[in-house]
Amino acid sequence: MNKDFISIADYTKQEIEAIFNLTAELKEKTKHAEEHHICKGMSMSMIFAKPSARTRISFETGMYQLGGYALYLSPNDIGIGKREAVKDIAQVISRYNQIIMARLFDHAHILELAEYATVPVINGLTDYNHPCQIMADIFTVLEHRKHLNDLKVTYIGDGNNVANSWINLAAKLPMHLVICSPSGYEPDNKTLSYTRNQNISTVEVTSNPVAAVKDSDVVYTDVWASMGQESEAQERRNVFMKYQVNSELMKHARPGAYVMHCLPAHRGDEITDEVIDSKQSIVFDEAENRMHVQKAIIAKLLKQG
Ligand code: CP
Ligand code: NVA
């Protein structure tokens, strides 16, 4: 295992599968209220430069269930990269806590944090990627489908941090991944080339939603304007309206295809109420699995699982 969990691309298929095995084990224990204080006496600083519900709640609760302690540092606390240099706070926190989780804007900052911290660093989202989310997502697909054979995933919308992490995953686990974004909003080019060069998955980028969802097992979407892009929201709404995941579009996917969204959702924009509230939607299972997967990641990084 690497010291840190910054990108799915840094992990092997075997390591990813080992995280899922531990996730299933810890989830079972949690469901049966079986104590699993494998990180007893350990603590984690959680640095948030952006807002969060799921990430904070799932990491904080997860660390508590592991017998450890997690402390929340709000966007006003450290002022990472502004009030204090990233490399300084990395070394300071390493003197207090056994592990760090951070949600930052600039991906270069999480890399720097990991470089200078002597303890493990977990990426809780940057402008570039969102690895814990996609680990929870694919674990959720595995739970529902029981296997990942012949999997077609279509991501519709902005080529953002969530899309980039799906592409990172496709470099490790075989799938047919289609990213359907309007022109000018495609995912990161370097990430695409890297994954395509691994020859593990087929990764397509298209701008045609109907063709993209054809025969899909999973239709995934995310907000059109991510945190930090609020001023572009109206302009993006105009560009993305054709990319809404609605009942009409879902007719073109495989019957019973799963609908996924990392949440928070802007209902009525990227996804309609009808679709997100439908039987096909597994958005709350994926939200729940954030906690189980992250507990496994914490335990692995702390060499306790
Ligand atoms: N999906 C996700 O990361 O949610 P939050 O932004 O609420 O943490
Ligand atoms: N792309 C979204 C994901 C939120 C979990 C954002 O960065 O705001």
Task: Let me know if residue 281 belongs to a domain.
Answer: yes
Domain with 231, as residue range(s), is: 133-286
Q: Say if ligand 1 is within 6 A of residue 53 CB.
A: yes
Question: Do 174 and 53 share a structural domain?
Answer: no
Residue 80 C-alpha to ligand 2 middle, in angstroms? 19
Q: Which of 39, 132, 180, 262 is catalytic?
A: 262
Q: Say if ligand 2 is within 6 A of residue 262 CB.
A: yes
Task: Let me know if residue 1 belongs to a domain.
Answer: no
User: Quick one: pLDDT at residue 134?
Assistant: 98
Q: Say if ligand 2 is within 6 A of residue 223 CB.
A: yes
Q: Is 95 exposed, middle or buried (0-12, 13-18, 19+ CB in 10 A)?
A: exposed
CA–CA distance, 214 with 207 (Å, rounded to integer) = 13
Give the CA dihedral 272, 163, 107, 89, nearest 10 degrees: 60
CA–CA distance, 128 with 39 (Å, rounded to integer) = 30
**pLDDT of 241 above 90:** yes
Task: Let me know if residue 243 belongs to a domain.
Answer: yes
Q: What's the rounded mean pLDDT across residues 37-51?
A: 97
CA–CA distance, 82 with 78 (Å, rounded to integer) = 8
Q: Say if ligand 2 is within 6 A of residue 225 CB.
A: no
Closest residue CA from atom 7 of ligand 2? 226
**pLDDT of 81 above 90:** no
User: Quick one: pLDDT at residue 194?
Assistant: 98
- Pocket test of ligand 1: the residue of 46, 47, 50, 52 to mutate, having most ligand atoms within 8 Å of its CB, is 52
Model pLDDT for residues 155-191, shown as the tens digit of each residue: 999 999 999 999 999 999 999 999 999 999 999 999 9
Could you tell me which of 232, 231, 177, 228 has the C-alpha nearest to residue 204?
177
Q: What's the rounded mean pLDDT across residues 269-287?
A: 98
Question: Do 257 and 221 share a structural domain?
Answer: yes
Question: Do 219 and 263 share a structural domain?
Answer: yes
8 Å CB contact between 152 and 218? yes
Task: Let me know if residue 182 belongs to a domain.
Answer: yes
